[in-house]
Amino acid sequence: MAKSEDYVFLVSKFLLLICVASFIYYKKYHRRSRLDDEEKKRPTTFVCRNPQQAKSILNGSYFEEPSLSNALKARAGPNTRLVYAFGIENAFTTTDTKYHRQFVSLAGTRINLSNVRWESLSKDIGRLLHGNIERQRISNGTVLLSRLLQITVLRAVLPILFPNSDVPDLPEEEQDDVAYFIADKINSLWIESKTTQAPNPKDLHSLKEACQKLLPGIAVDSPRDSPLNLILPAFETLWRIVFRCFIEVQFRSNDDFESNKNLLQEYLNRPTSEIFTKADARDISVSHIVNEALRLYPPTKRVYRHIQTESRVNPDVVAVDIESIHRDAQIWGTDAATFRPSRWGSREMNGNMMSAFFPFGMKPLVCPARKVFGPRIIGIFVASLSQIFNDSGDLETVGEMDFRRQGLLENARDSYMSIAVRIKERKELGTCS
């Protein structure tokens, strides 16, 4: 009897164990599959820092069916926020291949400038900078560099991007103010677009109204008409790269300061592609200076693409980390984090470096300003600023001083916004005819 009782006891214990085990298993399995479902919906962002992989993502060969249409979809997805924020439809947001071609071709035509036009642009930029500094000096005595650049970059690119616009019938001061308003609104809407899909419609309305003031006669209403289609990519990146390149050249290039300045001065006097790429005795050209700034401070630090995999509900996002590839010591050497334009000279530059440099993206979605317009207008702005600083007597910087330290400059959207200069001693400014 005792034996059979033992037996029953054992069996019931065994059954209980199985029950508990299956209960635990059931709970665990259920939880896992619920998690899996959530996991499938939540987009994951992969960061890509490998140059080869980055290239294959940007040139489309990474995707199962490389085509312009798929490349546009992969890019438009992460840029939807710009559609909500700015009411635009441009090359960055469209999935329509025909419209994309038209847009890129129009942009390419507008920024294809003759030598004569480059010369007048260079004079216009000088005049805008001089005028703005004078006006700010009169009103306050100090010139905020970020403000100076935002206003003058915007005002310089508008006539290039919109040759059909009438000339605004507003005093210079007012044009400066409107330009600054536009810059400020673009910045705040940009930041807002990262957190909300429904920005205040009043903001966009006032932004468009301001654009209309500087571009009389230009349609602004439909997404394809919006002048912001061209203004956003041209202005937003340009003023920030000019800012960093100028800080490097003006405040941090130590022994190379005089030689760099002479190069820039020569280019300003004759802003042709020959002078832009002409190297001096050190094997440095203005083009090298600009490339070095674009390498360390790519205005688009990360490029986002959607990747759709079948197992997942929402597409994943891959972030190509251009900034970190541009600063990778395995490619650029131990001084990768130093601003040193001479690395672009023929003695040092190699294929590895060339193929790990893509500040303007890559075919098929490469920026039309990559080859000529972008680098050369950066050069003109930096040269023009450098000349004004030379002409204007002793300058003292006011505000943040961190940028004088060794090491990399910050590359955030809102860095160095309070750097200002005060002109101590009044000297005659260059004539601004």
Ligand X SMILES: *[C@@H]1O[C@H](CO)[C@@H](O)[C@H](O)[C@H]1NC(C)=O
- Per CB under 6 A, residues contacting ligand X are 52, 55-56, 59, 61, 108, 112, 140, 142, 144, 261, 265, 387, 390, 420
Query: Omega before 364 cis (within 30°)?
Result: yes
Of 182 and 268, nearer to ligand X (C-beta) is 268
Tell me if 397 sits within 8 A of 304, measured CB to CB: no
Nearest approach, Cβ of residue 386 and ligand X (Å): 7
Nearest approach, Cβ of residue 296 and ligand X (Å): 23
Q: Calculate the CA 400 to chain-centre distance.
A: 23
Q: What is the dihedral of CA 53, 58, 63, 67, to 10 degrees?
A: -150
Please give the DSSP secondary-structure letter assigned to residue 223.
T
**Residue 204: HSE in the Cβ half-sphere, 13 Å Cα cutoff:** 21
Burial (CB count within 10 angstroms: exposed 0-12, middle 13-18, buried 19+), residue 17: exposed
Of 216 and 393, nearer to ligand X (C-beta) is 393
**Coil vs helix vs strand at 149:** helix
Nearest approach, Cβ of residue 234 and ligand X (Å): 16
Of 144 and 294, nearer to ligand X (C-beta) is 144
Nearest approach, Cβ of residue 420 and ligand X (Å): 5
Tell me if 383 sits within 8 A of 265, measured CB to CB: yes
Of 144 and 289, nearer to ligand X (C-beta) is 144
- Spatial separation of the C-alpha atoms in residues 107 and 231, rounded to whole Å: 11
Of 342 and 390, nearer to ligand X (C-beta) is 390
Nearest approach, Cβ of residue 31 and ligand X (Å): 41
Of 59 and 287, nearer to ligand X (C-beta) is 59
Tell me if 175 sits within 8 A of 204, measured CB to CB: no
Angle between helices 115-139 and 172-192 (to 10 degrees): 90
Nearest approach, Cβ of residue 34 and ligand X (Å): 39
Strands 45-48 and 316-321: parallel
Range 386-390, long-range pairs (CB < 8 A, 24+ positions): 386/246, 386/249, 386/250, 386/261, 386/264, 386/265, 387/126, 387/264, 387/265, 387/268, 387/430, 388/126, 388/129, 388/130, 388/133, 388/429, 388/430, 389/250, 389/421, 390/261
User: Which one, of 285, 298, 284, lies nearest residue 327 by Cα?
Assistant: 298
Of 35 and 354, nearer to ligand X (C-beta) is 354
Question: What is the enclosing helix (H) or strand (E) of 44?
Answer: none
Nearest approach, Cβ of residue 169 and ligand X (Å): 29
E-only strand ranges, 130-226: 142-144
Nearest approach, Cβ of residue 163 and ligand X (Å): 13
User: Which one, of 275, 295, 312, 265, lies nearest residue 356 by Cα?
Assistant: 295
Nearest approach, Cβ of residue 55 and ligand X (Å): 4
Of 169 and 255, nearer to ligand X (C-beta) is 255
Of 59 and 94, nearer to ligand X (C-beta) is 59
Of 61 and 346, nearer to ligand X (C-beta) is 61
Nearest approach, Cβ of residue 261 and ligand X (Å): 5
